[in-house]
Structure 1
């Protein structure tokens, strides 16, 4: 009887491998950790960002020495911001929106992980480099020359490309861009109809994708959103999230029957979204709140905040001392409101969600429009002052108001005859668009009179201007002069 060997060949191989692995592990332990830390994820890598993108994150492979990372992180061109940390994740929050039309490069090298000093090693992070860019600087306006009269025009200032979006048989009256920039909501009447109350609502594509390298529809695709068969479409607003439209409508068969209607921009079913009337008291000017859940409307002797639901008879808030909401800050914490005084003057107030009501200015003229700077310290307003009480002649001017100090900085005084002026603040807060409409002196019923202001005045031509902006505290702000753009148009707006 024979006995089997104590170890089989396979056993000997396994034992040899175990010994080798144990030796290698021992050598690694003697040498210490030689693997360099690295950036595992950058949230803006090769992305296109907009004014709503206010922070990016870097995620590291191991805990880092915070000071060495913050000292060695470089962004070109520079973007001011502040750091915050959560474990291996670093967050960098911008103090102001990144300027549009710019390519950025981010770099990190020579940063150490948390254990490098304790282990007395010179080990540093694996060098990291990446890129991102901001959206192009794009403006929209209504054409006023013979070539694109009454049409919605898009011009890309970054690439110097022009697109006419709407057809010639429609005269555009007002428009609001969707937040992603892919579509524009606009009201228009047919070119052969001079009735300013005959507008219908449409959308048109811009051909600009919400994100780079994503498919999008070509520019100029028109869709009818709301007709005027039974109701006149007077005014409209698009919610900041692009999901809801609020329209002021009047019943064609009953002139006294008018009110606010609401409709979604998208539908889960195959049927087109339909408008539903808000059950509320009639009101005047209105504006959807920044959270897209309510609408501020001039109602009676004050301003009401109504919920965006079918039954809106119970206001969320009512401010009896103010007659109009001019603007909301982006985060909804502040609003610019107008008070109409018994002596026929108007006062502009800063109203906060903490209950503070701070007077900013008083004028004998009008407060036409206001917009908050994206980073909040400044409010830009288009105002008028009364220069002739007998003939009631108003002179428009632009002013910047420091919301912390109340300091007013006049930017530009416009000619007396330029009463119909509109302005638009760029998403990055670095530029102000405004128009100068020249009215028809002796309007005649011809093709040249198809363009009209909101007051029904016939337009002969109109110029567009771009004013660069600096912080209100900068002494150079008084030396800034607007630049006349090579377009004939009016009602300028920036694409978000």
Structure 2
């Protein structure tokens, strides 16, 4: 054997020596283990601005981890409830409540260990600290006075900063923010074409300046793009899907009023007709696959496809007021035999629970995205009055106990619009003052067509632990003149 080795060339002997050395090193490594300490290789939200559409972050580790030790030592400040799942060396943290806006979060992990090796040979993780923050509190509304009249306005509540988004020549009718708040879809007409009975409104988008994953800036703010013109059709009610990819519009042919129905718009495609019949106060489902369309006998669930047959039908209900983000619950109106409305909580499993009824009206309802509460604008009879009269209440329904409490009484106002903040901590509503005369050219008008004299915007903080009783929550009037306030996501 030795004689054979001597017969080898020097380079062959060198190669064999290296092989033997590598085998020895591999053996030592197997005996002692990997002495490098495990670490967090990637944090998906590191230094990002996270909004209400962001529901989970991922921690990727350099080595397989002891999962119990990671879960026991993971800290988030301020606390952010969530559920943990694992995919290999990745930890997925799914939020159970939305992030709180205008907040900086810090995530820490220390003392966790790897699932291989031992503490002597470096299986204790390198200490990790990550950070992310949430957007400023901001909302959009329609101005009512002076240079702001009829224009879409962005107000940053955190910075007390106001930005006018749309030009003077357009009067905005309605709007819907996109999921990340970087754009707003709105309907508007030229002031010269805006008069009672004339619907010459087109659909546009406008940039807010808040780019995806970034804070509000003035860059590209106010950039407007035409989405759908009004040359051959009147564009009436519209809805934007929760992913921002689909728009459904109710349209009427200007040359044939019987040609009416719902149309679907998607990016880079021509408008597609969904139905050829009049639509009610419809909503797109949170998953973006169908619409809830009120009809005479109930509510039809229609797929977002041309001339498709209904997927389901909900008899007796007349209107859908709101749907939870996960699509599991909805607030619906049903008319009783005496024509008074009742408010129902309806689940996607078919369960129905009556929450309240009133001889007045149930104008609007919004779910709290963070807590099991439903906020509604309801008209009730005034107590102690000989003659029948009504007052407008802002009421909170606890969806766990099904108890209701009055949060605020809004005096003599019937066309009030409200919006619940993405983190469920505050509520906006408007107080519209109507003119005591018929609307004329140049007037802003409510949804019912009455002329608007002025309007203020109110901010109501919501107790995250328990809705308050009447008198304890006092709405704050903001230094703004406008109506239809809506929080940016």
Q: Structures share a fold, TM > 0.5?
A: yes
Q: Secondary structure at the match of 1:262?
A: strand
For 2:32 and 2:391, locate their aligned partners in 1 and report how far apart those are by CA, in whole Å: 79
8 A Cα contact 2:51 2:99, kept in partner? yes
Q: Secondary structure at the match of 1:282?
A: coil
Aligned match of 2:163: 163
For 2:470 and 2:59, locate their aligned partners in 1 and report how far apart those are by CA, in whole Å: 36
Shift of 1:16: 4.7
Match for 1:408 among 397, 404, 417? 404
Aligned match of 1:71: 72
Q: Write the deviation string for residues 183-202 of structure 1: whole angstroms up to 9, x where unpaired.
A: 21111122233235332222
8 A Cα contact 1:470 1:477, kept in partner? no
Aligned match of 1:234: 236
For 1:387 and 1:307, locate their aligned partners in 2 and report how far apart those are by CA, in whole Å: 43
For 2:31 and 2:307, locate their aligned partners in 1 and report how far apart those are by CA, in whole Å: 74
Matched, 1:342 2:344: no
TM-score, normalization by structure 2: 0.90
Aligned match of 1:261: 262
For 1:121 and 1:12, locate their aligned partners in 2 and report how far apart those are by CA, in whole Å: 35
- Measured at CA, do residues 297 and 22 of structure 1 come closer, stay the same or move farther in structure 2, by a change above 3 Å? closer
Matched, 1:275 2:266: no
For 2:17 and 2:87, locate their aligned partners in 1 and report how far apart those are by CA, in whole Å: 45
RMSD: 2.9
8 A Cα contact 1:138 1:157, kept in partner? yes
Instruction: List aligned pairs for 1:84-163, cutoff 5 A.
Output: 84-115=85-116, 123-163=123-163
8 A Cα contact 2:265 2:272, kept in partner? no
Shift of 1:176: 0.9
Q: Secondary structure at the match of 1:211?
A: coil
Shift of 1:356: 0.5
Q: Write the deviation string for residues 375-400 of structure 1: whole angstroms up to 9, x where unpaired.
A: 46111212212449998754211111
Q: Write the deviation string for residues 203-228 of structure 1: whole angstroms up to 9, x where unpaired.
A: 22222212339999712122232233
Aligned match of 1:220: 222
Aligned match of 2:288: 292
Aligned match of 2:207: 205
Q: Secondary structure at the match of 1:69?
A: helix
Q: Could you list the runs of 5+ residues in structure 1 that have no partner in the other structure?
A: 268-272
Shift of 1:433: 0.8
Aligned match of 2:485: 492
Shift of 1:30: 5.2
Shift of 1:28: 4.2
- Measured at CA, do residues 393 and 297 of structure 1 come closer, stay the same or move farther in structure 2, by a change above 3 Å? farther
For 1:414 and 1:460, locate their aligned partners in 2 and report how far apart those are by CA, in whole Å: 18
8 A Cα contact 2:38 2:62, kept in partner? yes
- Measured at CA, do residues 284 and 7 of structure 1 come closer, stay the same or move farther in structure 2, by a change above 3 Å? closer
For 1:24 and 1:8, locate their aligned partners in 2 and report how far apart those are by CA, in whole Å: 25
- Measured at CA, do residues 493 and 4 of structure 1 come closer, stay the same or move farther in structure 2, by a change above 3 Å? closer
Aligned match of 1:451: 444
For 1:34 and 1:63, locate their aligned partners in 2 and report how far apart those are by CA, in whole Å: 14
For 1:464 and 1:223, locate their aligned partners in 2 and report how far apart those are by CA, in whole Å: 28
8 A Cα contact 2:434 2:450, kept in partner? yes
- Measured at CA, do residues 477 and 241 of structure 1 come closer, stay the same or move farther in structure 2, by a change above 3 Å? farther
Q: Secondary structure at the match of 2:419?
A: strand
Q: Secondary structure at the match of 1:48?
A: coil
